[in-house]
Amino acid sequence: MIMSTKLRKDAHFIIEETLKEINPHKAVGDALKGFSKSAYIFAIGKASWTMANAAYEALGARALGGVVITKYDHSLGAIGDLRIFEAGHPLLDENGVAASEYAIDYFGALSESDNIIFLISGGGRDNLQKIVRAWLPDTSKIPSNIKIKIDVNPQNFM
């Protein structure tokens, strides 16, 4: 009985600590420590509201605006002046198309010197096709100072 209680206690501790470490708010906040530039925020996916909120908090007055596209009922309210959209998941719906078009226009109006913090969670990468096709139809046209890395392994963001 004593061993069983200790094992349960240890398992509970491991689960709690793991959940703390994989929390999207914490992960984004930790990733932006030391980031001192002003930036726009673009977040997509089920955890996008939480990640955008963390980025907004980390940037403070350096947050210049942005767009959040999340699953229905996953927005927890306004985040400064970020434009928040709720859309279908896992299938793209009319709201997702409208949100993607808004994001393309919004971020397409920025200059090459503007910084964008691009946060993707879960199924958000599934809704990227329209955006990627619009922004990157010919990768030879991407300015040499823009570095693109697509990494879907969440462990690489911890």
pTM over 0.95: no
Whether 41 is in a domain gets the answer: yes
Whether 34 is in a domain gets the answer: yes
What pLDDT was estimated at residue 155? 44
**Nearest CA to 80 among 31, 43, 134, 109?**
43
Compute and round to an integer the Cα radius of gyration of the chain.
18
pLDDT band at 136 (very low <50, low <70, confident <90, very high): low
Q: What is the DSSP string of 48-96?
A: HHHHHHHHHHHHGGGEEEEEEEEETT---S--TT-EEEEE-SSS--HHH
Tokens describing residue 147: 């570095």
Give 134's DSSP letter.
H
| Phi and psi at residue 119, to the nearest 5° | -115, 125
pLDDT band at 158 (very low <50, low <70, confident <90, very high): very low
- Cβ contacts of 105 within 8 Å, gap of 6 or more: none
Whether 17 is in a domain gets the answer: no
Average pLDDT, integer, range 14-35 = 83
Whether 48 is in a domain gets the answer: yes
What pLDDT was estimated at residue 40? 95
| Phi and psi at residue 74, to the nearest 5° | -110, -5
| Phi and psi at residue 124, to the nearest 5° | -55, -35
Report how many domains make up the chain. 1
CATH of the domain at 94: 3.40.50.10180
pLDDT at 149 over 50: no
